[in-house]
Structure formats: C-alpha cells, structure tokens
Amino acid sequence: MPLQTSVSRRLAGDKAGINSVEVAADILLQLANFRQPITLKILSQHCNLSPSKVHRYLSSLTKLGFTSHGEKSGKYSLGKNAILLGLAAMHQIDQIDDVMEEVQKLVAEINCHVGLSVWSKAGPTIVRWERSDDSLVVPFMLGQVLPILHSASGRVFAAFLDPALTRELIAKERASYNDSIYASDDELKIALREINRNRFAISKGEVESETTAISTPIVDWQDNPIVVITALISKNSSDDKILSILTALRIFSENKSVQRPSFPFAMAN
C-alpha cells in the first residue's frame, strides 16, 4: 500500500471501520515517510486535510505518545510509543522467521507433523505445515482458519489474547457448533485460565477425528502469542507419547519466546 494517503475517502465513509482510527493511522504513516520532523502545513498537504483537522488528531496522538511536537521548532515527528510499536513489530517478524527456520529440526526430533498458526481477524490461521515421515494424513492447508474453542491452537490463542479480540468469534462459533463444550461463560473462563497457567492445550479428534493436536504458544515480552506451534499425532497415541511430544514443544516454545516463564507442568486439559 503506497503511503500516499486516502484520508479524504475514509472521512467520506466509503470503507467499513472507524474512520477516525484510520485517519490517525494515515497521519502516522505520513510521518513515518519523513526522515526528519515536519511542519503541520507540510503534513496537512500530504494528508489532503486542513491544518486544523490534522492538528486535532496530532493533539491526541501527542498526548498518547505516538507523535512528538517540538516546542521550539513547532514541527512534528513520531513519538516514543510509535517507535516502540515499530520495534515490537520488527521483533515479532524476526521471531516468526526464526521459528520457521528451526521448526524442521523440531520435526526431526519428535517425528510428527508440526504446524504454525498466527492470529488473524478470522481467527487462528495456519501459516506453515512441516511434515514428518509419519504416515498420519494431514489434510490441513496453508491459510486455513481453525475454530477457536474446538482446536488446540484456537484455545491457546483464546487463553492468551485479550478477550476483546476473541469474544465475537467465540460467540459465533458457539452458535454455529451448537454443542455443549464450555456451556457457560464461567466454564470457559476456568478452562482458558487453566490453559494459560499450564501454557498448552490438547485437542483429541475435534478438528480431525483421527488426530490428537498438542499446541503451545510462543509469546512476546507481554506474554501475547506471536505464533502457536502444534504437533499432530494419532488419536490413539499413549499418554507417554503425548507427554514426550508436549515436553519437546514446551521447551521449543520457551526457548523461542521473549518472555520465558517458569511454569508448572500439569498433564491436564
């Protein structure tokens, strides 16, 4: 997407969403396009907005630390919070790349299929499948969106993400599946709290009837899941095998996470 702003169209309301948020984002993108602080006049020209309108946005963005205003020069630049967001995004991309490079070694170690999923607006989305020599059939496809409550990776995301990001999708899934899993909100909260505490989820025969899925999160410094790693084994696998795979996944996830928690080890889910 070019940095040439489309603020005027967004103010006209031709796209779904919150226009004021989109306008603020475009203003930040314009600031990011300059290597030095710029005046309100120049910024307004690039945003195709009046200086007074841009100034109102800048006042709020400056209060929140996303832009900075030089008292002497009167010029604007990105603030420290915008820089923190950029650094965090870069670090997350680096982490995903690092996991992508190392996942083959994990597959060779545990000899089972391993998938990586990230959170998207649609829910847990598969971004990679690394297959082993195991004869277990894996019908999943890249880009496939998994259910939240009815998959191991989905439950991990639900346990670690802000509920505001998952609430609507969970409600739709509950209505769609029309089953008794986590029938009440209290049951769901207890289950997700347990997954968060133990840092793994196991799903037996839910997404695919013949498989058991074991998922663990790789988290950032705020304990948010950057990517969830999932191993698939036969549904009839012994508890010893499940424990062995889970141990390997948790060690891998802990080593790849920014925050490395000291967690209890409980075979419950």
> What are the start-end ranges of the H helices in 161-238?
163-177, 185-198
pLDDT of residue 92: 57
- Residue 14 and residue 29: Cα distance in Å, rounded? 20
- DSSP codes, 79-102: -HHHHHHHHHHHHHHHHHHHHHHH
Considering only the top CATH level, what class is 91-256? Answer: alpha beta
The answer on pLDDT for 269 being more than 60 is no
Poorest-confidence range of 6-20, 68-82, 115-129, 221-235?
Answer: 6-20
pLDDT of residue 260: 55
Q: Which residues of 72-95 are buried (b: 16+ CB within 10 A; e: fewer)?
A: eeebbbbbeebeeeeebeeebeeb
Chain position carrying tokens 């006049």: 41
May I ask the CATH architecture of the domain 7-78? Answer: Orthogonal Bundle (1.10)
The answer on pLDDT for 3 being more than 70 is no
Give per-residue pLDDT as tens, 132-190.
777 777 777 878 899 999 999 999 999 999 999 999 999 989 888 876 677 688 889 99
Residue 206 φ then ψ, to 5°: -90, -60
| Nearest CA-CA partner of 43 in 51, 99, 35 | 51
**Crossing angle of the two packed helices 19-32 and 51-63, in degrees rounded to 10:** 90
Give per-residue pLDDT as tens, 85-129.
765 555 555 566 667 778 888 888 999 999 999 898 889 998 888
Contact indicator for 246, 214 with CB cutoff of 8 Å: yes
Domains of the chain by residue range: 7-78, 91-256
The answer on pLDDT for 50 being more than 80 is yes
- What secondary structure letter does DSSP report for 72? T
Q: How many CB atoms lie within 10 A of CB 254?
A: 18
Contact indicator for 142, 129 with CB cutoff of 8 Å: yes
pLDDT of residue 190: 93
- Tokens representing 173? 């899934």
